Amino acid sequence: MPGYRPHPFHWVPADGRRHASTDEHPPGASIYPDGTETSTLCQRTVKADTSDTAWLWETCLDCNSAAHELAGLPPLAGAR
C-alpha cells in the first residue's frame, strides 16, 4: 500500500475548468505538469494546464460531486 493520502484524487485545471483526477502525479511532482494527459472524474481525458489563471477557473460540477463522494462527504446540495 502507498503512504497515507488524505483524499484519493487531485485537482487538475484543464480545458477551462478545474477537474479532479485519481491519476497519480508523476514521481517527484506535486502537480500535473503542463500538458499531462489526465483522466478526470467526469470521465474525460484532458491535458493539464498550469497557467497562472488556470486555478481561477470554475470547478467542474461533475468532478466536484464525484470528489465529494470519494472524500466521504455528502454530495453538494442543489443550488437554491
- Are 47 and 14 in contact by the 8 Å Cβ rule? The answer is yes
Sole binder of Zn ion in the list 12, 14, 48, 63 (CB under 5 A)? 63
Indicate whether 38 belongs to the interface with Zn ion (CB under 5 A).
Answer: no
Choose one: 2-10, 32-40, 49-57, 67-75; the region binding Zn ion (CB under 5 A): 32-40
In degrees rounded to 5, what are phi and psi of residue 62? -65, -45
Whichever of 2 and 12 has its CB closer to Zn ion, that residue is 12
Helices and strands (DSSP H and E) totals, the chain: 1, 4
Closest CB 9 distance from Zn ion, rounded Å: 11
Q: Which of 13, 40, 49, 67 binds Zn ion (CB under 5 A)?
A: 40
Phi, psi of 65 (to 5 degrees): -70, -35
